[in-house]
Amino acid sequence: MAIRIIVKEPDEVLHKKAKEVTKITPNVQKLLDDMADTMYDADGVGLAAPQVGILKRLIVIDAGDEHGLIKMINPEIVESEGEQFGPEGCLSIPGWNGDVRRAEKVTVKGLNREGNELIVTGTGLLARAFQHEIDHLNGVLFTEIADRVYEYVPEQPRKELENR
């Protein structure tokens, strides 16, 4: 496993549509593993293959819920409902957030690393992450669909504010 370099905006690869994976090879499986390592190393929730410069329809997500790490090949949203609105960031656009409208609940279908069908239904953060990463596969960045984009300033820990 290896940590890959995360491609940053305005790299043109982030604006191109990724190609469907037609054959699951050891290289595809290694790429999924590398993407997971890269996502964790960068403290991310999700990562799409175009973010490491590869135009293949692969995503990895870990929203910190009961689903754990999800590695998916050729993901597609097959059902969505409700609406959520809130802040989103991106490992490819560090230092910026945006307020984005997303479905509250999505069902996503794809393949796992062995080529078996994988169907996952998620709400909240997991639903947001699926939509965000699948947007990456279609060359769409959150900044293009956000109601508002703003510089991200991490909040100071509450404890530090109370001591003033």
User: What is d(CA 50, CA 18) in angstroms, rounded to the nearest whole number?
Assistant: 7
Percent of the chain with pLDDT over 90: 91
Q: Residue 67, annotated ligand binder? A: no
User: What is d(CA 77, CA 32) in angstroms, rounded to the nearest whole number?
Assistant: 19
Q: Tell me the domain boundaries of the chain.
A: 12-162
Average of per-residue pLDDT values in the chain: 94
| pLDDT above 70: residue 148 | yes
User: What is d(CA 85, CA 47) in angstroms, rounded to the nearest whole number?
Assistant: 21
Q: pLDDT digits over 43-93, tens only? A: 999 999 999 999 999 999 999 999 999 999 999 999 999 999 999 999 999
User: What is d(CA 92, CA 132) in angstroms, rounded to the nearest whole number?
Assistant: 12
Q: Give, in degrees to the nearest 5, the angle at Cα 93 between 36 and 42.
A: 30
82, 127 contact by CB (below 8 A): no
User: What is d(CA 19, CA 72) in angstroms, rounded to the nearest whole number?
Assistant: 14
Which of the residues 133, 151, 155, 160 is marked catalytic?
A: 133
133 carries an active-site annotation: yes
Residue 152's pLDDT band (cuts 50, 70, 90): confident
4, 34 contact by CB (below 8 A): yes
Q: Residue 155, annotated ligand binder? A: no
User: What is d(CA 161, CA 164) in angstroms, rounded to the nearest whole number?
Assistant: 6
Q: pTM here?
A: 0.92
Q: Give, in degrees to the nearest 5, the angle at Cα 116 between 112 and 117.
A: 85
CATH topology of domain 12-162: Peptide Deformylase (3.90.45)
Q: Residue 132, annotated ligand binder? A: yes
